[in-house]
Amino acid sequence: MESYERAALEAVTTHPVHDYRTLSVERLTPVLGAEVSGVDLSREIPDAQLDEIRTAFRAHHVLVFRDQALTVEDHKRFASAFGELRAVSPPPPEGDPYVLEIRTASAAANVAGNGWHADGTADVEPSLGSMLYITEIPEPGSGGDTMFANMHLAYEMLSPAMRSLLDPLTAVHDGAQALAGYTPPADYVIPKSEHPLVARHPETDRRLLYVNKAYTSRIPQLSEQESRALLDLLFDTIAGRPILHLRVRWTPGTLVFWDNRCVQHHAVYDYYPHTRCGRRVAINGGPVKG
């Protein structure tokens, strides 16, 4: 391991441990994710508990809540404690415009989200976070996990020379690239935006790598060939470094809340021909901070 990689890991793994008073928070890996217990998301959550959930979210970026029995209204109420609800885009043909139904039919050819991405990065103001509640899993042992990757650490483990090259750059995020193979409604305006390639988390100011394979199409300051090579290198770094990753195994009634500003996720489609169902509610974010 290079000295700068060791330094990045030491900084992440020696964070002070917060003393939670209203709930329990167990780390899932040294670098990403925690399981939160002692909270019932179907009820109005007291402010003290919400504050501790916010603290845990800032520290771990992915929070896993098990054994929750939630109506759509409970799910939306919990999400709206963290910001304005985000309309599903492209809008669903029917049903609640804030609820994305996740439904893998038996023997589906592919599933949405089966590749590394963060939600909505082609928008001028991408999503703050998403909450996915899974109600039906493939048969036990048949897969359907979701993987997550820490983009702070992805940036911090790069060499100083690579970080200096990336710091001043921007990247184009193109909704058309992510929609490939899917025809949106005729009146849908496909989003496309340019964001800092190295962003800062709006709450902690910590830097992070802000490119993802589903949406990011081009680094405009570079030639076409240089842009392709550098993006492919960064995508390979995100996918190919298990140390950045967390893998969540679902059980029915699990809700996972992740931070789209500093985490990417990948819905692993390894459960053909089984089914999997749930629903996702997302929260609006702001402009990407450079």
Contact status, residue 124 vs residue 175, Cβ threshold 8 Å: no
The whole-angstrom separation of Cα 194 and Cα 171 is 5
The whole-angstrom separation of Cα 88 and Cα 17 is 36
Both tokens of 223, joined, read: 């030639």
Looking at residue 243, the DSSP 8-state letter turns out to be G
**Residues in contact with ligand SIN, shown as a per-residue x/- string from 207 to 246 under the rule CB under 6 A:** ----------------------------------------
Number of shown-chain residues binding ligand SIN (CB under 6 A)? 9
Among 267, 281, 283, 288, binds ligand SIN (CB under 6 A): 267
Among 8, 132, 166, 288, binds ligand SIN (CB under 6 A): 132
Among 49, 127, 146, 260, binds ligand SIN (CB under 6 A): 146
In the bound state with ligand SIN, the residue whose beta carbon lies nearer, of 119 and 156, is 119
Residue type, 5: E
Question: In terms of Cα–Cα distance, which of 131, 68, 139, 67 is closest to 98?
Answer: 131
In the residue annotation, 236 being an active-site residue is answered as no
Helix (H, G, I), strand (E, B) or coil at 70: coil
Query: Of all residues in this chain, which one has the CB nearest to ligand SIN in the complex?
Result: 113
In the residue annotation, 54 being an active-site residue is answered as no
* Nearest 10 degrees: Cα torsion 239, 252, 100, 283: -70
Contact status, residue 198 vs residue 220, Cβ threshold 8 Å: no
The whole-angstrom separation of Cα 212 and Cα 268 is 16
Catalytic-role residue among 60, 61, 86, 117: 117
- 197 interacts with ligand SIN by CB under 6 A: no
Report in angstroms how near the CB of residue 158 gets to ligand SIN at its nearest: 25
Report in angstroms how near the CB of residue 186 gets to ligand SIN at its nearest: 24
**Residues in contact with ligand SIN, shown as a per-residue x/- string from 67 to 106 under the rule CB under 6 A:** -----------------------------------x----
Map tokens 């169902």 to a residue.
277
Residues that bind ligand SIN (CB under 6 A): 102, 113, 119, 130, 132, 146, 265, 267, 280
Catalytic residues: 117, 119, 265, 280
